Amino acid sequence: MVKKIVVLTGSPRKKGNSIAMTEAFIAAAQKKGHQVTRFDTAQMQINGCRACDTCFSQGKACSFDDDFNKVFSRVEKYENISDNMELEIANYLNQVSEGRLSSESKLQIRAMLREVTEIESIGDSCYNLARTINRKRQTNQDFTEKQYEHIHFMMKLTNDALEQMIVVVEKPEHHSIDVNKSFNIENEINNYRNQLKNQNILDVNNKEYDYQMGVYYMDIIAECEKLGDYVVNVVEASSDVKEKKAS
C-alpha cells in the first residue's frame, strides 16, 4: 500500500549526518513507491509569536503567513485523513463481520480493528506534537540546546519504532525477531523518557530554563512515548492477525 510520508528535518548543516540519514530514508521510501514530502525547517522562515491571538480566535496556526503554517497545515491535513480512513476501514470490517464467518475469521477482524484504531492514534499523536510546538512558539521563548538534543534523540527513537512497525506490518508472515525489535525500541523510549523526566526536575530547580518551558519540553517527550506505545500496539495487533491466519 502506498503511503504519504511527511519528513521534518531540524539540522542547519546541509551535508551533516542528520541530512544524510534523511536522504537515505527518503530514497528507500520512494523506491518502494511511497510519496514523501520533506520540510527542512532550519532553512525555512519560522518566526516567534507576535501575540496576534489568531490561533485562539480563528483556529489558524498564525495570522503571519510564515513557513510554520505550511508545516502545521500539512500535519493537520494528514491527521484528518487518518481519522477518515479509520472510520471507512472500521465500517467495512464491521460489515464483513456481520456475514457468515468462522470463529477464527471473527478473531482476525477484531485484531484488524484494533490495528486500525492504533494507527489512527499515531496520527493523533503526531498532531498533538504539532499543537504543543505551536503553543511553545506563542511564548516567544526557545528550548535550550540540550533540550533540543534530547528532543531530537527521542524523535529518532520514535522514528526507529515507526520504521520497525512498518517492517512487521508489511511482512506476510509472523516473525518473532522483528516483533522483539519493536519491543526493544519501546523499552529504549520508556527508559529515555524516565531519564529525561528526572533530569527535567533537576534542570528546572537549577534554573536551566523556566517551569513553563519545562512543561512544553516534557509534553513533547511524553507524546513521543505515547506514540511509541501506539506503535507497539499496532505490532501486537498485526502479529495476532498473522498468527490466527497461520493457525
E strands, the chain, are 4-9, 35-40
Q: Is the pLDDT of residue 244 over 60?
A: no
Tell me the pairing of strands 4-9 and 35-40: parallel
pLDDT at 144: 93
Q: Is the pLDDT of residue 95 over 70?
A: yes
Chain segment 222-239, per-residue pLDDT in tens = 999 999 999 999 998 888
Q: Is the pLDDT of residue 56 over 70?
A: no
Q: What is the pTM of this model?
A: 0.64
pLDDT at 102: 76
Collapsing DSSP states into helix, strand and coil, what is residue 65? Answer: coil
Q: What amino acid is encoded at 29 in this protein?
A: A
pLDDT at 143: 93
212-219: long-range contacts, CB 8 A cutoff, minimum separation 24: 212/139, 212/141, 213/136, 213/139, 213/141, 213/143, 213/147, 216/132, 216/135, 216/136, 216/139, 216/143, 217/143, 217/147, 217/150, 217/151, 219/132
pLDDT at 86: 75
CA distance 91 to 109: 12
